[in-house]
Structure 1
């Protein structure tokens, strides 16, 4: 179409006859529409395809409508890619921001909702657990002894206690010990050294502890805070410890006991929480219902258990929970306090009955 004809009204254009183009002119005519590179490539591979400009596309769709449709598709594709990238970045930020990886979150417990009465025969039960534990030394007790016997300076020892406690969450004792040993060999149980080490190196050294990527990030943040606010040492109070990334009540109380020799509360993990509920030592007030989380168990225990037992109760019950009162199929038959336990043989019996009912 001659360029001058674009200046005429559309109503006149339909009335003007066009002369047929010569073969040379047809050869020089450029396509009117722009085509995606994929379309051109596919047409180049197909010998029968033609790039006729035409004013109408198959199905009666005009070139202008087709171009508009292609533009919308491109915009939609760009938006979808941007949304995908945004979701991936949000996921990365979520991993970096990190929720607490402890088994429970720190929250104030309403004392009126839990029982504060000392259970019957608790001293006899505790004495029986001690006898079983002395027959089989617990790994957690050995670990505590090794740390207390360390000859490193007190400040570095306290920081090492904090780091090893962070690593121990949701991780087996032997795995934690191996990770701490590798960090020690690299001189990375020091706040300044950790700050100067990249996260990838930290993660590779502590692998395969549970949540090792998150813990490597936490370690960096904790080291930065301790170096900036405490001169490379660790906080002296529960509240300050709880303000550190990845530190919940269990870790905070453990660090206070092992780092500062200051018993502020009972260190309650999943073993202590489970066993205390099985023994009927803790419950909701006025009912026989179990406490719903370890923090409720801690508060309930502290209302009646003598304070001189707040420190030894954790390693005692943790060892007992690993060897006898296990999470699945507890060994009630070998437990010498089964006649005093309200849960004796109940869970073991229910587990075996479920196994019988399950299809082969």
Structure 2
């Protein structure tokens, strides 16, 4: 039961009752329905104002975050632009002095520096030098086999086809003509053609005034003689017009002549002008260099062989290598059926015995072991000379001569 208190308070039409009950240790105010409605309105208003304050605070926070994001993006773009401008400035201008170091921005200071390494011997870059194994030994053996100088190139090459008593310009012109005729032609045929040309008059003016039919008869039967007649007439006309009948003294000028290739130009510079401009590589040099493994990679044409040889072969050997390998290819390292059993490089050549004749010739004792006379000591210690009659010993043969006989027998 509730007990009405003795005092009633009236405030803004709100009646407040204080109720007491034995069940409560403290008294609590009781609000009527009208007071409850007023209190709810007041609470709603306070809640609405609180939400407005919260929304305002959240909008301010969002604007602050957007402003911070925009500022950070601008800072990043400016820093990137500064770094790019610094890189462009460093790439297009000279290195700055030490006194200008404090002026560099913090962005450029933080750039990663390039690490530059140098060789122990200096700042020059070391290039890999390749050379074939045992090439010096093989070259020495070829020199030994070519010591007799009895190959066709030794007596009928371009150096021997010119007239030694002719004027210098005529002699140089004859060297060029012999080189042009030697393409795809054996030295014996070239020498015979040059002998007929010299008898007719082998000068630029004389060949220019000779008709094609007569010139063809003079150089026949060299390989591709009809084309060479045209090349000789065109070359003679250019030499008379531009060089006064002489030949150019440069590699570029020689190559521009009709019918003159790199091999002829390098040999003409060496023989006619005594200047080494490169290695003259013909079919013999091309074949033997590939057989001996003197090239880093096998080549398919003489020009590629020339470039590969000049990469490692010492320059002082460029003039000699053509003469050595051409004669060696004419006598021992033949295009077909090479005489590998007679070659001193048969144990170091990677192509030895691959295309040799089926029946290899046995290596005989060298001629030095078959003397015409020898000395012997008697029991008393006195030296006595015994003369031996010259007889053909089957064990004493010339390997080059025997190789030629074998080649003739194989053909027949």
Q: Report if TM-score (shorter chain) is over 0.5.
A: yes
- Whole-Å separation in 2 of the counterparts to 1:153 and 1:351: 52
In the TM superposition, 1:190-209 aligns within 5 A as 190-209=203-222
Deviation readout 1:100-131 (Å, 9 max, x if unpaired):
xxxxxxxxxxxxxxx96111110100000111
Mapped pair 1:161 → 2:169: no
Mapped pair 1:175 → 2:183: no
Describe the SS at the equivalent of 2:272. Answer: helix
The residue aligned with 1:283 is 296
**Could you tell me how far 1:329 is from its partner in structure 2?**
1.0
- The match for 1:310 among 293, 318, 330 is 318
Aligned residue pairs total 232
- Whole-Å separation in 2 of the counterparts to 1:250 and 1:351: 36
The residue aligned with 1:346 is 354
- Whole-Å separation in 1 of the counterparts to 2:274 and 2:156: 16
- Whole-Å separation in 2 of the counterparts to 1:221 and 1:351: 50
- Whole-Å separation in 2 of the counterparts to 1:277 and 1:351: 24
- Whole-Å separation in 2 of the counterparts to 1:138 and 1:266: 20
The residue aligned with 2:334 is 326
The residue aligned with 1:265 is 278
- Whole-Å separation in 1 of the counterparts to 2:246 and 2:359: 47
- Whole-Å separation in 1 of the counterparts to 2:359 and 2:276: 38
- Whole-Å separation in 2 of the counterparts to 1:205 and 1:148: 16
**Could you tell me how far 1:143 is from its partner in structure 2?**
3.4
Deviation readout 1:250-303 (Å, 9 max, x if unpaired):
11111111111111000000110010000000132xxxxx11211111111111
Q: Relative to 1, partners in 2 of residues 1:228 and 1:328: Cα closer, same or farther, differing over 3 Å?
A: same
The residue aligned with 2:306 is 298
- The match for 1:251 among 264, 272, 289 is 264
Normalising by structure 2, what TM-score?
A: 0.54
Deviation readout 1:49-77 (Å, 9 max, x if unpaired):
xxxxxxxxxxxxxxxxxxxxxxxxxxxxx
Describe the SS at the equivalent of 1:266. Answer: coil
Mapped pair 1:120 → 2:133: yes
**Which structure has the highest strand share of the two?**
2
- Whole-Å separation in 2 of the counterparts to 1:164 and 1:348: 32
- The match for 1:185 among 183, 194, 199 is 199
**Could you tell me how far 1:148 is from its partner in structure 2?**
7.2
Provide the alpha-carbon RMSD of the alignment. 1.9
Q: Relative to 1, partners in 2 of residues 1:170 and 1:122: Cα closer, same or farther, differing over 3 Å?
A: same
Larger relative CO (CA 8 A, sep 6+): 1 or 2? 1
Describe the SS at the equivalent of 2:311. Answer: helix
Deviation readout 1:9-53 (Å, 9 max, x if unpaired):
xxxxxxxxxxxxxxxxxxxxxxxxxxxxxxxxxxxxxxxxxxxxx
Quick check: 1:283–1:291 contact (8 Å CA) kept in 2? Answer: no
Unaligned runs of 5+ in 1: 1-114, 285-289, 353-360
In the TM superposition, 1:200-239 aligns within 5 A as 200-239=213-252
**Could you tell me how far 1:135 is from its partner in structure 2?**
3.6
- Whole-Å separation in 2 of the counterparts to 1:192 and 1:136: 35
- Whole-Å separation in 2 of the counterparts to 1:160 and 1:148: 5
Describe the SS at the equivalent of 2:188. Answer: helix
**Could you tell me how far 1:137 is from its partner in structure 2?**
2.0
Q: Relative to 1, partners in 2 of residues 1:305 and 1:298: Cα closer, same or farther, differing over 3 Å?
A: same
Query: Which has more radius of gyration?
Result: 2
In the TM superposition, 1:37-56 aligns within 5 A as none
- Whole-Å separation in 2 of the counterparts to 1:191 and 1:239: 20
Quick check: 1:254–1:267 contact (8 Å CA) kept in 2? Answer: yes
- Whole-Å separation in 2 of the counterparts to 1:260 and 1:136: 23
Quick check: 1:155–1:233 contact (8 Å CA) kept in 2? Answer: yes
**Which structure has the highest helix share of the two?**
1
The residue aligned with 1:28 is none
